[in-house]
Amino acid sequence: MLSASIALGQKAYLASESFNPSPRNEERVRLAFYNVENLFDYFDDSLTIDEQFLPRGDHYWTKARYTEKQNKLAKTILAMGGWDAPELIGFCEIENRYVLESLTQFTQLKALGYQIIHKDSPDARGIDVAAIYRPDKLKLLNYEYYQLNFPFDSTSRTRDILHAVMELPNQDTLHFFVNHWPSKFGGEFETQPKRMFAADFVRAKADSLLKINPNTHIVITGDFNDEPEEESMLKGLAVNTDINTLKPTDLFNMMFDLRFVTGTHSFENKWGILDQFIVSGNLLMKKSKTRIFNKTAQIFDMDFLIMEGATGARRPFRTYQGPKYIGGYSDHLPIIMDLILDR
């Protein structure tokens, strides 16, 4: 896809660096996030606005199309892992638990035994955030969903935020937050306070954990509907953008230095990074028993996930182009990141 040399502190690397498919064994775990673009089932839910994604809806969303998409998502997940499927994956644009059960039990993923973390959110369309994890590698200690209630717009409903607490193979604890912040639909300026509210909320949760234990391992991921350089990320989450001055209790955006050369999503032929990993600074410290491999995160931009439009511009190979079914994967690319685990 896109390739450029970027400096992260003193380290230079490629934005589209070579993918590492090698087995991770007990030495590493792979984290991922994937906006799967309207993963709806084909049944009518009277409590949500899902009419587009029905066999007789505008998108003619049939069982055959649903099954094809599930198999393509399973293919992507397996490819993300290389020889060893990802241990923990966060999702957004999931309609319900059933679509996750279909994905994990009726595709090639079945043999891996993925377990599901899910709760229906108050979003009007019924789309949620969720996660799946491999119980042979990780232990779920606890999880909680946080509902966002905007004091300035009490009637607005959006996706909950998932906070999963996992025990890693080296017995360290990981706090994994999955987000899908309010979109810019209705106007960027008009919707910005909602994303800022979400950012402040997540930052407060991180601060409360770090106050108890400054070495708490935190990964905040999701589709933030803002770019790394926008106000919700820089001021709301209050990330440190300079890895050379990073403290263990800071938050650092792994995608910040990639923002001008690559992307996870394309709008009007312009790539942007809406899908991101924000981590606690201790995960980037050499002495940490759990730390980020090569101090990098990667956009999973394999060729089969990309299409070329009529103008020659490349973009994610999505399921629908407007109302037209084109049979792709998603309008977003997944992101992946490995943790090194010392005993």
Looking at domain 31-341, its CATH class is alpha beta
Q: Mean pLDDT, to the nearest integer, of 8-19?
A: 43
Q: Per-residue confidence at 2, pLDDT binned at 50, 70, 90?
A: very low
Q: Dig out the tokens for 298 from the structure.
A: 């990667």
- Torsion sign across C-alpha atoms 44, 34, 162, 186: negative
What is the tens place of the pLDDT at every residue in 162-219?
999 999 999 999 999 999 999 988 888 889 999 999 999 999 999 999 999 999 999 9
Virtual torsion, Cα 228, 234, 237, 243, nearest 10 deg: 80
What is the pLDDT of the chain when averaged over all its residues?
92
What is the tens place of the pLDDT at every residue in 207-218?
999 999 999 999
Q: Is 101 helix (H, G, I), strand (E, B) or coil?
A: helix
**Range of lowest pLDDT (38-47, 100-109, 256-265):** 256-265
Q: Mean pLDDT, to the nearest integer, of 228-249?
A: 96
Is the pLDDT at 1 greater than 60? The verdict is: no
Residue-level pLDDT at 18: 64
Residue-level pLDDT at 319: 97
For residues 147 and 9, which has the higher predicted lDDT (pLDDT)?
A: 147
CA-to-CA distance for 281 and 196, rounded, in angstroms? 22
Q: Per-residue confidence at 6, pLDDT binned at 50, 70, 90?
A: very low
CA-to-CA distance for 264 and 74, rounded, in angstroms? 19
Percent of the chain with pLDDT over 70: 95
**Range of lowest pLDDT (47-51, 193-197, 215-219, 271-275):** 47-51
- Torsion sign across C-alpha atoms 332, 41, 304, 327: negative
CA-to-CA distance for 62 and 145, rounded, in angstroms? 31
Count Cα neighbours of 43 within 13 Å in the Cβ-side half-sphere.
6
Q: What is the residue extent of each domain of the chain?
A: 31-341
Q: Which residues of 12-42 are buried (b: 16+ CB within 10 A; e: fewer)?
A: ebebbeeeeeeebeeebbbbbbbbbbbbbbb
